[in-house]
Amino acid sequence: FLSFLLLLTMISGFSARRVLYIGDSITDGGWGRSGGSAKASKDRNHKDLNHVYGHSYMMLCAAYYQSQWPDCDWQFWNRGISGNTLFQMADRWQEDALSLTPDVISILIGTNDVGAYLDECKKSGKAFTIDGFDYNRWKQKYRHLLDTTRTVLPNAELVLCTPFVGKSTGQVRMTITDSLAQIVRKIADDYKAVVVSFDQLFANLQKSEPTPKYWIWDGIHPTAAGHQRMAELWESRCHDLMITNNRVTINVTRDQLEQCPEGPYEASWQSIAAHYRTPEWFQDAKFGIFIHWGVYSVPAAGSEWYPKHMYNGLAKVHREKWGRQSQFGYKDFIPMFKAEKFNASEWAELFREAGARYVIPTAEHHDGFAMYDSKLTRWNAKQMGPCRDIIGELAEAVRHEGLKFGVSNHRIENWDFMYPLNMPKDSTDLFLPDYSDLYGPPQKPTEQSGMGPKALAAAANGGATEAVINEAAQEGRHPQSDAFLNEWELRVHEIIDRYQPDLLYFDNGINYRSLDPWKLRLARYYYNSAHHWQKEVSIQSKAQAYLAGSIQDFERESRAPRKLYDRYWQVDDPIGNKFGYIEGLKLQSADGIIRNLVDNVACGGNLCLNISPKSDGTIPDDQQQILRTIGQWLRQNGEGIYGTRPYKNAIEENIRFTTKDGVIYAFVLRWDGKPFTIQSIDGTRVKSITRLADGKKVGFKKQADGIRVEANGLATNNAIGFKIEII
């Protein structure tokens, strides 16, 4: 499958963008000192830079791109003419559109066509009706205009904006305009154009306070606030067309990505839902190990997000310790990442001793450095740093110990992860051509980015909650370009083919609903591959990223369900206060981790405990001790953990329940060493109770409200397990 990769080349399409906005008065905005008149474009002032764009949404878009990406040779034109209908705009199409040879053509037209129809009815004395408007003629003219454009400018990108009016224009005008908006959406779909639904934007805005006139002052023309919202929507919808062309990617075609092993899975939610089942081995496993280890462990500061923070919040700290970012960038940590003491067999033996049943190392984190032997990027651990296939060595060692092996891939977050929000570009190494295939270069975060202004503002006010980020992801559009996503998909294929992982973990970056085409193809490729391997495997993802075919993952115990859930799940939780290794890492207690494990298992989930190795490849002694303590507890109590399923009553105050083979297991999370009562179990059905830790029988009394367990011992914060056999 990867044989064609030798033919791939690295491309960087950074180039000027020539963008035309054309339409009526809403776009016009008095550009070229027209004074709001219908003056022809050739008669307007093209030299007065104060007025060359007018004051519409078009001006706001141009200002946004030119200010945020000054290194791109932008060229913008406003060719809106007040009062124009579609047919009047068509008459000037050659001069005002085609002759400019734009790369992007944005069209907003239609409101005056409706107005002209109503005026004609008034003059002729005819009653105006919704059906009286000639929709077919309007549609044919619009299509003819686009056909001409495609013939003359075959590479031009089309952006079709829907017309709109306010409520004050009356029901007939609103209904006809809404019909034209639907026509524009259908045409956009047919011509594979980007559609910007201004009608839906204002319909939603006019439902909000303070009043509809706050957004559209006369029923037709937006206010300044309305134009701002139009610009924001246009920028969001047209992101790919405008600012993603300087990202270096592998040149891979869609046909190449359609290559897939034969099997029962198709790239649809219906197919995946029909064929996917959560692996039984995973439901039995309960406890796994997650590993955040990479180049970021060298600076050992801040967190595993050091590659982002060294160009942002920790910029001063980095300069003082390592030097200026233009001279010592993230790439310069790679030779220092030697992993000279790394022993995959010792790690795997420790994980087995800890009681883990599966292991998930990070194959590639947000930093873009691959911890595996890759043919798709030179920035990998086999060619640089350790000069070892870290993932390959771990896969072999972990499987040798009888454990399942998965990988996590976070590359999709690399898109804008390292962008310097408050540093001049030339004060970093991020935009140097020699390193573009590592850094990207990074793109500027947007509102649709998990690290964009919205998330940053939420973080400044106490934290960007998972709900806030997920809501934006579900409703918005992913910021990445198609070319970047195609490369990401190809890289995941490489990992799947090379290591045949039992689990494939993705972070929050894939949550966007708009990423479904890529996610579905990946699921098809992975699950059909596993069909040939004859293995039970699963994707793991956050929130509702996968509507089917995935184990849902919750990041940190604070987000874990504390009741029975409608799908199988796990929590990935760090052993310390960070996922990656840092100096002074504050660790959880083994008792607390065990209680979390019991809580999760009782509610139908797993715990995947993250460890944080040092850059030399050692797992710190204090982390090892915690793992061994957990392993010792599981050797005594694992009967009530491994292979169990949730009991019908999962939680009763300080007690958690599991069940297996007709036996109920009760775990007291914190025990005061005294007898206790269980109300969730019918005392008349209890045959015997055994303490799991030592196998000793425990007395009990049947009571009206359940059963009294006559256990005594030393008070402990550790969970104590009991086996309850039922008649």
**Residue 649, domain CATH:** 2.60.40.1180
Q: What is the pLDDT of residue 6?
A: 31
| Domain membership flag for residue 715 | yes
Q: What is the pLDDT of residue 223?
A: 95
Residue 340 and residue 211 share a domain: no
Q: What is the pLDDT of residue 12?
A: 37
Residue 533 and residue 651 share a domain: no
Q: What is the pLDDT of residue 71?
A: 62
Residue 27 CB partners (closer than 8 Å, separation 6+): 21, 54, 56, 57, 58, 78, 79, 80, 108
Q: What is the pLDDT of residue 127?
A: 86
- Looking at 640, 665, 682, the residue that finishes a domain is 640
- In the three-class reduction of DSSP (H, G, I as helix; E, B as strand; rest coil), residue 249 is classed as strand
Residue 556 and residue 667 share a domain: no
Tokens of 639: 């009967």
Q: What is the pLDDT of residue 504?
A: 99
Tokens of 368: 């873009």
Residue from 623, 587, 627, 622 nearest 607 by CA: 627
**Cis amide prior to 210 (ω within 30 degrees):** yes
Residue 606 DSSP code: E
Residue 650 and residue 636 share a domain: no
Q: Rounded to whole angstroms, how far apart are CA atoms 47 and 28?
A: 16
Residue 132 CB partners (closer than 8 Å, separation 6+): 117, 121, 126
Q: No. of H helices and E strands in the chain? A: 24, 23
- Looking at 184, 214, 243, the residue that finishes a domain is 243
Q: Rounded to whole angstroms, how far apart are CA atoms 482 and 245?
A: 10
Which helix (H) or strand (E) segment is 596 a member of?
Answer: helix 590-602
**pLDDT tens sequence across 172-214:** 999 999 999 999 999 999 999 999 999 999 998 888 766 778 8
Q: What is the pLDDT of residue 9?
A: 36
- In the three-class reduction of DSSP (H, G, I as helix; E, B as strand; rest coil), residue 45 is classed as coil
Residue 272 CB neighbour total at 10 angstroms: 23
Tokens of 389: 């296939």
Tokens of 367: 């930093």
| Domain membership flag for residue 705 | yes
What is the DSSP code string of 500-562?
--SEEEE-GGG--GGGHHHHHHHHHHHHHHHHHHT---EEEEETTSSSSSEEEEEESGGGS-S
Residue from 407, 550, 546 nearest 473 by CA: 546
| Domain membership flag for residue 441 | no
| Domain membership flag for residue 250 | no
- Given a cut of 70, the residues of the chain with pLDDT beneath it are 1-16, 71, 209-210, 240, 243-245, 447-476
Residue 300 and residue 375 share a domain: yes
Residue 533 and residue 585 share a domain: yes
289, 405 Cβ separation under 8 angstroms: no
- In the three-class reduction of DSSP (H, G, I as helix; E, B as strand; rest coil), residue 323 is classed as coil
- Segments forming the whole domain that contains residue 341: 290-418+479-640
Q: What is the pLDDT of residue 683?
A: 87
- Letter for the amino acid at 158? L
What is the DSSP code string of 374-415?
-SS-S-BTTTSTT-S-HHHHHHHHHHHTT-EEEEEE-GGGGG
711, 675 Cβ separation under 8 angstroms: yes
Q: Rounded to whole angstroms, how far apart are CA atoms 162 and 394?
A: 54
| Domain membership flag for residue 185 | yes
Residue 306 and residue 368 share a domain: yes
159, 57 Cβ separation under 8 angstroms: no
| Domain membership flag for residue 5 | no
54, 80 Cβ separation under 8 angstroms: yes
Q: Rounded to whole angstroms, how far apart are CA atoms 644 and 660?
A: 5
Residue 345 and residue 228 share a domain: no
Q: What is the pLDDT of residue 17?
A: 79
460, 468 Cβ separation under 8 angstroms: no
